[in-house]
Amino acid sequence: MSEFIFVSDLFVEDCGGGAELTSEALVAPYEKEVIKIKSSNVSKEIVDQNRDKRWIFGNFYSLSLQNIMYIIKSNIDYSIIEYDYKICKYRSKEKHTLVEGSCNCHETPYGKLIHLFFRNSNMNWFMSEYQRQVYLDSKSITLEKSKVLSSIFSKQTLDLIDKIRQENATKTNKKYIILNSASWIKGTQDAIAYANKESLEYELVSGLSYHDMLEKIGSSYGLIFLPKASDTCPRIVIEAKLLGCDLVLNENVSHKNEKWFSTNSLGDIRQYLESRVSYFWREYERE
């Protein structure tokens, strides 16, 4: 019998983004216990029918504000996995400031409701220590009801990464990869400017399957990734490090200086990543 409802805007069947891949790596080992529901399909009726379940919210941009309020008032057991910064309507205070001159979301009905949504959650999971600190500073969460999860990788994916790295132990391709993304936060143009300034060979990459993307990264010399604002725990950076690439990063890669990532031991990084699924689910073990 399913004990959990996992809500997300999209799942890996719909999109191969970092949040969706992390969510799938979490859910897959417990798929018999988890019902997946798109946030746009959540209704008061579904909430009422599943009050006995434990709810987990991933990305919930498509969850209506009315339903968020209903969930809070319903006193159901729920937790949140935060992939970005939904306390801001742009999901980035920096982008909000760029577009409108400042971010005043904490003063708006939207911001106050999202603050309440996090505040009433039984547990809030974050991708990096920096991201969690932003929420602690905003008073939207408490230290006791928050933990850092990081991006999640399945054992199969980690095995594949190890295999690709071994196959490319001697890198003959001296090009750097730059993610060709339309997303403002990914900083594609900044990465191109850096490569040109430093006279580095580079290749813009997009539209590949996940497997082909790993192969492309693994066969390349390095990765240039310079996000415009806090990118909470970008998978491509972790993948590139595990694939033996040289990394050109800025301080907006929020997990860059965390102990588990900053080590030179790829084995220790893998061990940490492999531990995260059980670390997450131990929180939900019933006595």
Determine, yes or no, domain membership for 57.
Answer: yes
239 and 145 belong to one structural domain: no
* Residues 196, 247 share a domain: yes
Q: Are residues 106 and 222 located together in one domain of the fold?
A: no
**Is 132 a member of any domain?**
yes
Mean pLDDT of 259-283: 97
CA–CA distances in Å: residue 138 to residues 25, 116, 134, 146: 29, 11, 6, 13
pLDDT of residue 275: 97
Q: Does one domain contain both 80 and 182?
A: no
Domain carrying residue 251 = 155-265
Q: Is residue 287 part of a domain?
A: no
Compute the half-sphere exposure of residue 244: CA atoms within 13 Å on the CB side of its CA.
Answer: 20
Is residue 121, in this structure, part of any structural domain at all? yes
Give the pLDDT mean for 45-55. Answer: 96
Percent of the chain with pLDDT over 70: 99
- Strand residue runs (E) in 50-201: 54-57, 77-82, 124-126, 146-148, 176-179
Same domain, 56 and 159: no
Residue 270 lies in a domain: no
Asked if residue 192 belongs to a domain, the reply is yes
33 and 64 belong to one structural domain: yes
Residues 128-141 have pLDDT tens digits of 999 999 999 999 99
Total of domains in the chain: 2
pLDDT tops 90 at residue 88: yes
Do residue 11 and residue 145 come from a single domain? yes
Contact 178, 224 (CB under 8 A): yes
pLDDT above 70: residue 107? yes
CATH number of domain containing 11: 3.40.50.2000
Strand runs (DSSP E) across 83-143, as ranges? Answer: 124-126
* Helix extents (H) in 128-197: 129-137, 155-167, 188-197
92 pLDDT band, cuts 50/70/90, is very high
Question: At residue 233, does pLDDT exceed 80?
Answer: yes
For residue 37, pLDDT beyond 70: yes
What confidence category does residue 172 fall into, taking pLDDT thresholds of 50, 70 and 90? confident
- The answer to whether residues 142 and 193 belong to one domain is no
Specify if 197 maps to a domain.
yes
pLDDT band at 51 (very low <50, low <70, confident <90, very high): very high
The confidence band for 15, taking pLDDT boundaries of 50, 70 and 90, is confident
Q: Are residues 118 and 217 in the same domain?
A: no
Residue 132 shares a structural domain with residue 10: yes
pLDDT for 286: 58
Q: Is the pLDDT of residue 193 over 90?
A: yes
Under the banding of pLDDT at 50, 70 and 90, the label for residue 42 is: very high
Whether residue 101 sits in one domain with residue 60? yes
> What pLDDT is stored for residue 287 in this prediction?
40
Position 16 scores a pLDDT of: 82
Same-domain check for residues 51 and 104: yes
Does 136 map to a domain?
yes
Q: What does the pLDDT read at residue 281? A: 95
